[in-house]
A and B are shown apart, each in its own frame.
Chain A
Amino acid sequence: MGVANLGLYNQAIILFAALALFTSFIMLAQGRMMPLIFTFAWQGLLLAVVSVLVAIVSKHPELYVSAALTFTLKVVLIPWLLYRLSVQLNMQYDAEAIEHPTLLLLGGVALVIFSYFVAQSIVHLSGLATRNTIAVSIAIELLGMLLMCVRKSAVAQVIGFMSMESGIFFAAVVSTYGMPLVVELGVAFDILVAAILFGVFFFHLRDSFGSLNVGQFNRLSEANQPMPLRDAAGEHSSGGPHPPGEPS
């Protein structure tokens, strides 16, 4: 059934879902920190609005809880937290050079096509008129994952992570009118704790590495393990896993 035959609310659901997908793409291409955070907040807002609309259309009042959770976490708390941290760490004007932006965006498009095919096999089970949005939710999740994979900045990785969670929440809303309440609250709690822990980690990262660029992480990669033949004596001073000191 074409979009023209749907009611206004359903049309709006589709429109906002598409816009949420668009914000995912914006985040992929956005290298500056502040706009990235704000785009993430916009995405949260769009998804919250979609949840409300689905609640109205399908007459599932429990979805208002999902919408409120999404709004509180993804629009208010997490962006505010990230914003505060960025200001505290004095990196609100930081920008990250994105390698091969066009390739990245095309990769994102490929992921959308992939999600479409994945969703094709399962949408027939849903009774919703707007069930095609399931594909969008999968795409948002996968795009979040792509964001995490290609970005080197810790903030961008966190945003990718949270965007993945948004996508999954959204999938739950459009496919099954949300999850059971206890699960939803549990997931929200986990996300909140994760956000706070990420904040703690920003400080740790800054203290240890001087920046939030996790691209320089290579101490533990399998290729960089210290070789056994090198003499042990000088090894510790070069920042080995343990502080130098007499074995006690």
Chain B
Amino acid sequence: MDSELTAWALAAAQALLFIAAAPLLAGWVQRVKCHAQNRAAPAVWQPYRNLAKLLRKKMLLAENASWLFRAVPYIVFGAMLLAAAVVPLIAVNLPSAAIADMIVLVAFFALARFFTALAGLDIGTAFGGMGASREMMVSALAEPAMLMAVFTLSMTASTTNLSVATGYVLQSGLVLRPSFLFALLALTMVAVAETSRVPVDNPATHLELTMLHEAMILEYGGRHLALIEWASQIKLMIYSVLIVDFFFPWGIATGFSAAALAVGALAVAAKLMLLAVILVVWETVLAKMRLFRVPQFLGFAFMLSLLAMLTHVVLETGG
């Protein structure tokens, strides 16, 4: 009884840590990027300051904003919170793993996206509608690719449960699976598109012709904006952790001893930092592509995930 309580406490702590660390990851990415581009870098905790400032600010709402517009930030943040709660960060086999299903995770993302798009439409400005339609286009292409990649992994692990799948990969050790390689590439490309990074979108600009995500949330301010910003930082974190969990799970804690948890935390921190560096290199090297090229980019991601599934079926099973 007692150990179960500890486990639940751990799960809750992990979820809280997850959302608390999300701005830190964003700050780290920002900092590395500034260094890479020879600019003066802000402190790593700059995102916390931004969030705090936004939370303190007085909120201004458009006259024709409906209740939907006001509810959306909470829905989005809630969805991301729930999503973050099911992704194993430091330890697998937590009790929250029972609901840690990959398809549920994809559904959470879809939910958040759907409401963001609604909010963009609700206010009735040109940018909101444009952003919503673009976001929907991207997501319609990205979602199948992501699902395909996720299915490939679940076919290998014979489960759609995140925690079990991570445990499976951890247990089977280093196996050169071509399907994992392709799925990793596909998932990375999807993640880049979904978290609005270069080359699909640029989170740092508000150039009306090119922006996707920013266009939808242009009318938000104060507390609402803080929640949405925070939610998108959590999303980046979730994708990063997913990639780490699936493809490089070594170090994650399987037991609940303090030492194991500490190792798990350190390992995941190191891996995320490294991943962020790779992301920065990617963003610095690539230029943002034209919007009309995005379907091709995501089509390629889809093809990769399909190829991952095919190579799994053709090469890795049977015989």
Binding site for B on A (CB under 8 A): 1-4, 8, 11-12, 14-15, 17-19, 21-22, 25, 29, 101-102, 105-106, 108-109, 112-113, 116, 119, 123, 129, 131-133, 135-136
Range, interface on chain B: 20 to 34
Q: Separation in Å of the A31 CB from the closest CB of chain B?
A: 11
Q: Separation in Å of the B107 CB from the closest CB of chain A?
A: 25
Of the residues B182, B295, B303, B315, contact of A3 by C-beta under 8 Å = B315
Question: At the interface, yes or no: B45 with Cβ under 8 Å from chain A?
Answer: no
A235 to B288, CA, bound (A): 54
Q: Separation in Å of the A159 CB from the closest CB of chain B?
A: 19
Determine the residue in chain B with the shortest Cβ distance to A131.
B319
A71 to B21, CA, bound (A): 50
Give the interface segment out of B11-19, B30-38, B169-177, B246-254. B169-177
> Could you say which residues of chain A place their CB within 8 Å of the CB of B296?
101-102
Q: Report the 3 A-B pairs with minimum CB-CB distance, sorted nearest first.
A: A18-B178, A11-B176, A3-B316
Contact A109–B307 (Cβ < 8 Å): yes
Query: Are A129 and B319 also in contact (CB < 8 A) when A102-B295, A136-B314 are?
Result: yes
Identify whether the interface residues of B are mostly helix, strand, loop, or mixed.
Answer: helix
Q: Separation in Å of the B156 CB from the closest CB of chain A?
A: 9
A102 to B301, CA, bound (A): 11
Question: At the interface, yes or no: B299 with Cβ under 8 Å from chain A?
Answer: yes
6 A–B contact pairs at CB < 8 A? A15-B176, A18-B307, A18-B315, A22-B182, A109-B303, A109-B307
Which residues 100-137 in B have Cβ within 8 Å of A in the complex?
A: none
A119 to B300, CA, bound (A): 26
Count of A-B contacts with CB under 8 A?
Answer: 76
A22 to B310, CA, bound (A): 11
Question: At the interface, yes or no: B43 with Cβ under 8 Å from chain A?
Answer: no
Question: At the interface, yes or no: B313 with Cβ under 8 Å from chain A?
Answer: yes
> Could you say which residues of chain A place their CB within 8 Å of the CB of B319?
1, 123, 129, 131-132
- Against A, the Cβ 8 Å flags (1 = close, 0 = not) of B285-317 are 000000000011001100100110011011111
Determine the residue in chain B with the shortest Cβ distance to A28.
B303
Q: Separation in Å of the A124 CB from the closest CB of chain B?
A: 9
Query: Are A135 and B314 also in contact (CB < 8 A) when A102-B299, A129-B319 are?
Result: yes
A206 to B217, CA, bound (A): 55
A21 to B303, CA, bound (A): 12
A86 to B295, CA, bound (A): 31
Of the residues B172, B177, B310, contact of A112 by C-beta under 8 Å = B310
> Could you say which residues of chain B place their CB within 8 Å of the CB of A8?
176
Q: Separation in Å of the A164 CB from the closest CB of chain B?
A: 19
A19 to B300, CA, bound (A): 15
A25 to B295, CA, bound (A): 17
> Could you say which residues of chain A place their CB within 8 Å of the CB of B270?
none
Of the residues A19, A109, A112, A113, contact of B178 by C-beta under 8 Å = A19
